[in-house]
Amino acid sequence: MRRRVVVEAVEAWLGRDTLPASWSVVVSVEGERAHFTIFERGKLVAVRRFDDLPDCRDFEAALGASIGLSLEALLTRRAEVEQERAEGEPSTTESEGPRERQGSPLASTIHGTFAPTTLTSPAWGGSLTFELGAPWAPGVESNVRTRLGVLSLWALPTELTEVADARLETRLMAARVGPCLGDGTRSWRLQACADLMAGYVSGRGSGAVRALGAHLPWAAVGLGVEGRLWIVEPLALSAGAQANLQVVRPVFRVVSDSGREVEELRIPSAGLMVHVGATWSYR
179-221 pLDDT, tens digit per residue, is: 999 888 878 889 999 999 999 999 887 765 655 678 899 999 9
Q: What is the mean pLDDT of residues 138-165?
A: 81
Residue 139 has pLDDT above 60, yes or no: no
Residue 115 has pLDDT above 90, yes or no: yes
User: 82-86, 96-100, 200-204 — which one is most confidently predicted on average?
Assistant: 200-204
Residue 267 has pLDDT above 80, yes or no: yes
Q: Where are the domains of the chain?
A: 3-88, 106-282
Q: What is the pLDDT of residue 91?
A: 47
> Domain 106-282: which CATH class?
mainly beta
Burial class (CB in 10 A: 0-12, 13-18, 19+), 274: middle
Residue 89 has pLDDT above 80, yes or no: no
> Domain 3-88: which CATH class?
alpha beta
Mean pLDDT of the chain: 81
Q: What is the mean pLDDT of residues 145-167?
A: 86
Instruction: Supply the pTM of this predicted model.
Output: 0.59
Q: What is the pLDDT of residue 101?
A: 46
